[in-house]
Structure 1
Amino acid sequence: MRVRDSALLECGVLTELLAEAGAVGFAEEEGVLIAYIPADVYSPEAVESVVGNFDGVAVERCECLPPKNWNELWESNFTPLMLEVGGRTLRIRASFHAPTVGGEELVIDPRMAFGTGHHATTRLMLEWLLGLPDPIESCLDIGCGSGILAILAAKRGARRVVALDYDIWAVENARENAALNGVEGVEVLHADLHALPQEQFQLMLANLTKNLLLDNLERLVATVRPGGLIAMSGFYEADALALEKAASSLGLRKERECTAEGWEMMVFLRTA
């Protein structure tokens, strides 16, 4: 789609609304926004309803892409990632990369699921987990994707880790990655935000969109014990204030925030 207002692309509102309409990926080329929507969820009416909110935005064309070997594509683009926080290092690699000599590592084969650490939202969460001074007792990872955050929590000493995702491909991939890293104790559930575990955790990890966080924050808070932490990301820096206000109204106190590439990550303490 042609977007005449460059500020509209930069603020992220258009991509966020298209994501709610089913888009799972985006690319920008000189004022043209390319949105990728799976064929089984694509709705011309939903896309047009988004575009109709903005002047100077028009859908130029819609085409169905031929099947691709997505595994081959991500393998060709997935380079190992090195993180360093407070003297601790973590190398994230795929199973086809050479093993790390010394230091910590995560082995992640993302396949059809999101999460290699290269995207700013995942990287911010990983860096925070890596820098935690004390072991984690229990952790709930919401929208786990490849399982990368849950696996690091387990490697940081969490005795109980539950990860969930509504996408069955992500669930299977997270289980595979947990086994690759020797943390088979990570429990991966096929569930959505309306079927959260009936228990409370010391830490919740929620790398979700702004609207998913706002719409479900009360039920998310209920799964964190008093004195526990909620780390959330997946939203733009411009959306942080709305989330902070919602969190404060539910008795959460902001402990930390950081940004990268326009994306935000915040950590809240449940005070009661």
Structure 2
Amino acid sequence: MANIIYIEYAFTVFPVQPTSDILIAELGEIGFESFVENENGVLAYIQKTDWQESIVDGIAILENENFKIEYKVKEIEQENWNATWEENFKPIQVGDACVVRAPFHDAPKVDYDIVIEPKMSFGTGHHETTFMMLKHILENDFTGKSVLDMGSGTGVLAILAAMKGAAPVEAIDIDNWCYLNAKENVERNGFPNIKVLEGDASLLRGKKFDVIIANINRNILVADIPIYAKCLNAGASLFLSGFYLEDLDMITSKCGEYSLKFEKNLEKNNWVAAKYVF
């Protein structure tokens, strides 16, 4: 039986977000089957039998002058595939208590061991925004609280919230790959009661939560903050990320219009994750 050969595209992108998210979505539509996000961009993989040299020529984001994207291409034989994947997908440690890892990593001795098979979904902990949102969850009490993870990606934030005692927990993402992947990951981590839904903020009509977590992007956050506010119980918390430090005042001002008060923010490499209270 012949070895399967994979083609690896190593994309260097700026800005990293939302460029990486858009790029992954567009590559997924043309046959790329696995992705690894890193601090510089994305590694994307496709079987050589599904590949041709011109395969990325029609990718819209590569032709968009608002994004700076460069890439290199190489072949990887099947015998080296697992080693390549494991080399590029590193476990993420958040403080002393939490590790986000893939199934092929050894289990660590921590309070919160989250196993994620990322596939095409965003949210492994490698990106600054996911890392900071995990840190927010670790630093706050989630016991017995109803939680919504909006733009859930892999479901990692919903899973950590459940590990910290939150219930009930919902995870919503508009992307089908994310929806399917989150369903797999909540099962993998022993939380089948986390309700995973595919869709957008229109699914929130009539719902109430003690905590809403939304790691999306600035424009969607600004549009959806009024909806989030309607869904918060008295004394609830809203955690927002997916935007830069220079956008914090605008996000805070928008939250203030709906009686959401800024409490604190975390910052990493100019990305921000902020907490507001209702």
What TM-score comes out, normalization by structure 2 length? 0.74
Per the TM alignment, residue 116 of structure 1 is displaced from its structure 2 partner at its CA by 1.1
- Could you tell me whether the CA contact under 8 Å between 1:116 and 1:122 is conserved in 2? yes
Q: Find the residue that maps to 1:220 and give its secondary structure.
A: helix
Q: Find the residue that maps to 2:158 and give its secondary structure.
A: helix
Change (3 A) 1:229 1:80: same
Tell me which amino acid in the other structure corresponds to 1:259.
E
Per the TM alignment, residue 236 of structure 1 is displaced from its structure 2 partner at its CA by 0.8
Change (3 A) 1:256 1:74: farther
Equivalent residue number for residue 209 of structure 2 = 201
- Could you tell me whether the CA contact under 8 Å between 1:121 and 1:263 is conserved in 2? yes
- Could you tell me whether the CA contact under 8 Å between 1:203 and 1:228 is conserved in 2? yes
Per the TM alignment, residue 205 of structure 1 is displaced from its structure 2 partner at its CA by 0.4
Tell me which amino acid in the other structure corresponds to 1:131.
E
Q: Distance in 2 between matches of 1:227 and 1:107?
A: 32
| 1:168 maps onto 2:171 in alignment | no
Q: Find the residue that maps to 2:190 and give its secondary structure.
A: coil
Per the TM alignment, residue 165 of structure 1 is displaced from its structure 2 partner at its CA by 0.6
- Could you tell me whether the CA contact under 8 Å between 2:23 and 2:61 is conserved in 1? no
Return 5+ residue gaps in structure 2 as ranges.
1-13, 26-36, 45-54
What TM-score comes out, normalization by structure 1 length? 0.75
Per the TM alignment, residue 184 of structure 1 is displaced from its structure 2 partner at its CA by 0.9
| 1:116 maps onto 2:116 in alignment | no
Matches within 5 A, 1:44-59: 47=64, 50=66
| 1:234 maps onto 2:242 in alignment | yes
Equivalent residue number for residue 5 of structure 2 = none
Return 5+ residue gaps in structure 1 as ranges.
1-8, 52-56
Tell me which amino acid in the other structure corresponds to 1:200.
K
Q: Distance in 1 between matches of 2:216 and 2:150?
A: 8
- Could you tell me whether the CA contact under 8 Å between 1:136 and 1:202 is conserved in 2? no
Matches within 5 A, 1:48-87: 50=66, 74-84=85-95
Identity %: 29
Equivalent residue number for residue 249 of structure 1 = 257
Per the TM alignment, residue 41 of structure 1 is displaced from its structure 2 partner at its CA by 8.8
Per the TM alignment, residue 95 of structure 1 is displaced from its structure 2 partner at its CA by 0.8
Q: Distance in 1 between matches of 2:89 and 2:39?
A: 20
Matches within 5 A, 1:90-169: 90-101=98-109, 103-133=111-141, 135-169=143-177
Q: Distance in 1 between matches of 2:61 and 2:158?
A: 36
2:224 paired residue among 209, 216, 237: 216
Equivalent residue number for residue 6 of structure 2 = none
Per the TM alignment, residue 64 of structure 1 is displaced from its structure 2 partner at its CA by 11
Equivalent residue number for residue 4 of structure 1 = none
CA deviation map 1:220-255 (0-9, x unaligned): 221211211110001111111111111111111011
Tell me which amino acid in the other structure corresponds to 2:163.
K
- Could you tell me whether the CA contact under 8 Å between 2:38 and 2:126 is conserved in 1? no
Count of aligned positions: 241
RMSD: 3.6
Q: Distance in 1 between matches of 2:214 and 2:108?
A: 28
- Could you tell me whether the CA contact under 8 Å between 1:136 and 1:153 is conserved in 2? no
